[in-house]
Amino acid sequence: MAGGLVALLDDVAVLARAAAASIDDIGAAAAKAGAKAAGVVVDDAAVTPQYVRSLAAERELPIIKRIAVGSLRNKFLIILPAVLLLSQFVPWLLTPILMLGGAYLCYEGAEKVWAKIAHHGASGAGEEQVQDETTLVSGAVRTDLILSAEIMVISLNEVIDEAFWSRLVILAVVAVVITVLVYGVVALIVKMDDAGLRLSQRSGAVATFGRGLVRAMPAVLTVLTVVGTAAMLWVGGHILLLGTNELNLHFLYEAVHHVEVAAHDAAGVLGGLVGWLVNTVASAILGLIVGAFVVLVVTLTLHRRTSKAVAAGAATRPDGTIPGQPSRAAQRRDAPADRAPRG
């Protein structure tokens, strides 16, 4: 009996070591996959604060919480099942779907650029207008869907050789960690001015630092808005650049890569940074071009159709008649008496 117990304990120890090794492998794979998606994580953290700029201070954290919950819902109910099933059965569909998401990001970024240019001389009241919270959260969650899809697909590419269930666990870990990281950073950014206000009520250097923090935060949020718009164009353009190469349309990718390599070789010790900047700028330019084209198409179709419908509704009187058209009573009154009265 003692020998059997020792053998059982040995088996348990072996299983425990195997489980620990498996957990270590999953943690290492999740860290590797998350590191590859770090650039998109930075973009996500830069994009999100612009959605709460015009909100009252007490509504900022609840809205960020709602967006974070929507982000988790995106990842676990839509993106994770989709990428796992597609990678298992129709992996060739991942690239076209991701490119559609990239085109949407380009549209979002180009639309913001156009709105800034078109209303450059305006007083800015439109920007500070209090938005409906449900609409605001919906817009933020839609943008998060694209950025989260990019994060998950990049992570998937790093663990594509793992077994199905290992992929599932690794991507689930990445989804949770990145969501907590992104929206934790966003919460810190948007509440920094409140922290500065509390610090300013103390004395000495702490109060001076707090006042400086309060004065700096509007400029920081403005910079983040610009960075967020640029990030949309950069990430969207980069998705399209890589996607065209994956679909065997190599000319665009090879042209950018050629310039990137030339800049890398010419910059010496700063070659890595310069090469990355060249690729980033090229991706952003591509994103701006594609986004501007989508904005133009949407403006000429959907917006024009909406404007016509609004104009038609405004041109109709409450009694159903159209301005310039006499009412039925007036028509009867002004009609020629070409028939003799009855009786």
74: how many CB neighbours lie within 10 A of its CB?
A: 22
Q: Which helix H or strand E contains 77, and what residues bound it? A: none
The residue assigned the tokens 């920007």 is: 127
For residue range 195-225, what is the model confidence (pLDDT) as tens digits? 888 888 888 888 888 888 888 888 887 787 7
- Look at residues 217, 276, 287 and name the one whose alpha carbon lies nearest to residue 252: 287
Closest of 156, 177, 138 to residue 98, by C-alpha: 156
Per-residue pLDDT at 331 exceeds 60: no
Q: How confident is the model at residue 14 (pLDDT cuts 50, 70, 90)?
A: very low
**pLDDT band, residue 9 (cuts 50/70/90):** very low
User: How many residues would you count in the chain?
Assistant: 343
pTM (2 decimals)?
Answer: 0.66
Cα 75 to Cα 103, 178, 272: the distances in Å are: 20, 11, 32
Query: Which residues neighbour 267 within 8 Å (Cβ) at sequence distance 6 or greater?
Result: 273, 274, 275
pLDDT band at 294 (very low <50, low <70, confident <90, very high): very high
- Residue 70: closest CA among 179, 222, 151, 195: 179
Q: Which residue has the higher pLDDT, 246 or 48?
A: 246
Burial zone of 182 (CB within 10 Å; 0-12 exposed, 13-18 middle, 19+ buried): buried
Select the more confidently predicted residue: 68 or 49. 68
Cα separation, 128 vs 305, whole angstroms: 28
Q: State the CB neighbour count (10 A cutoff) for residue 119.
A: 13
pLDDT of residue 283: 93
Most confident of the following: 128-137, 286-295, 299-308, 315-324: 286-295
27 vs 127: which has the higher pLDDT? 27
Q: Give all strands (DSSP E) within the chain, no chain letters.
A: none
Residue 281's Cβ-count burial label (10 Å; 0-12, 13-18, 19+) is middle
Tell which residue, 33, 211, 228, has the closest CA to residue 112: 228
pLDDT at 158: 73
